[in-house]
Structure 1
Amino acid sequence: MADGTEKRRTCVIAVDGSKYSTEAVTWFKNNVYKPGDRVLFVTAIDHRKHMQYGSVTMTPGNPDSITHAFAAEDKKANEILEKVKAVTDGSGMDCEYFKMSGEPGECIVQKAKDTEADLIVTGCRGLGTIRRTILGSVSDYIIHHSDAPVFVCRH
């Protein structure tokens, strides 16, 4: 800016605990991060995989099974964020960690909108075209729905 003050850059980093996600964090830390950046690590818990819509098998014999499944997903999300903290400890980065609930791509894009992010960084598993079409892709969703620039770190 003309008066010598610069806007603090906000970067959203999508994390899911995979090696691709960890590589994206490391790449960001080594190649993009600048002192003063606000770095937001976002992981999403998608509980829908534990439910079968229109089926009574949601609680197979044990009414607490869904509660236990949700708790396991929450524990996994906490472990993912702890893993990221271990990678970023001592880096001097101003980090914030977010655990969101919902479809991962939607959560990441929403956090970027809410924080007016300047950049989103995500990893990519490298699914083929057919598998990505059938299964979907978080990185594809982010690319097509984000207002901010998106950097996809390929393996």
Structure 2
Amino acid sequence: MTEEAKKVTRVLIGVDDSENCLRAFNYYVQHIHKSDNEVILFHVSDQVKVPTYALLSEGMALTPDDIRYRVESLRKKNKELEEKYDTKCRDLQIKHKFLLVTEDNHGAGHAIVDAAKKHHANLIVVGSRGLGALKRTIMGSISSYVIHHGHIPALVCPPE
């Protein structure tokens, strides 16, 4: 067996709590997954955003309890997401790990492409919201970014 044949297939799947990501995960499982593949479930978490006016104006400021509540809510949401996909992978006997990063100024698409490089992925799998050209231009498209900036093949699962 050649070195190339022994190479592990490592798949990075972008996940969040949307139906689009779940559909992409299910498509991968049903049509592509092989038992020796390694799956990286990758989530780009929101940040707790505190409006600047809340820090500068009296009477409108967020209290430390408000900020703590927002942080805890986000942590809980991320933990539930991890548990959801961890359970799915365990039930399907898929070797996996869950990676979570916090969104930065470059966006989720950049984070996915960067993680795929760092973790030596051979394939990226993402869902698509199915935005039209105008909305995609204005709002940005993670799947479009991955396709145009990725260094490896990408599978984009469209909405139903």
| TM-score, reference length from structure 1 | 0.87
Letter of the structure 1 residue corresponding to residue 101 of structure 2: M
CA distance in 1, matches of 2:131, 2:94: 31
Range 3-12 or range 72-81, more displaced:
3-12
- Aligned 8 A contact 2:89 2:95 in 1: no
1:139 matches 2:139: no
Local SS of the residue matching 1:89: helix
| Structure 1 match to 2:44 | 44
Corresponding residue SS for 2:42: strand
Alignment of 1:11-90 (within 5 A): 11-47=11-47, 50-52=49-51, 55-57=52-54, 60-90=61-91
The answer (yes or no) to whether the contact 1:118–1:149 under 8 Å persists in 2 is yes
CA RMSD of aligned residues (A): 2.0
Contact 1:15 1:41 in 2 (8 A): yes
Name the aligned partner's letter for residue 131 of structure 1.
K
Return the alpha-carbon distance in structure 2 between the equivalents of residues 51 and 61 of structure 1.
8
Task: Give 1:3 shift.
Answer: 6.3
Deviation at 1:22, TM superposition (A): 0.7
Render the CA deviation track for 1:20-57: whole Å, top value 9, x for unaligned. Answer: 11111111011111111110001111216x244xx322
Kindly provide the amino acid, as one letter, of the partner of residue 113 in structure 2: V
* TM superposition shift of 1:77: 1.5
Percent identity reads 30
Larger Rg, first or second structure (1 or 2): 2
Structure 2: 5+ residue stretches without partners = none
Post-superposition CA distance 1:115-147 (Å, at most 9, x none):
111000001111111111111111112112211
In the other structure, the counterpart of 1:117 is 121
Structure 1, unpaired ranges of 5+: none
Q: Which moved more, 1:39-48 or 1:61-70?
A: 61-70
Tell me how far apart the structure 1 counterparts of residues 71 and 3 of structure 2 sit (CA, whole Å).
50
Displacement of 1:60 in angstroms is: 2.8
Shift of 1:4: 8.5
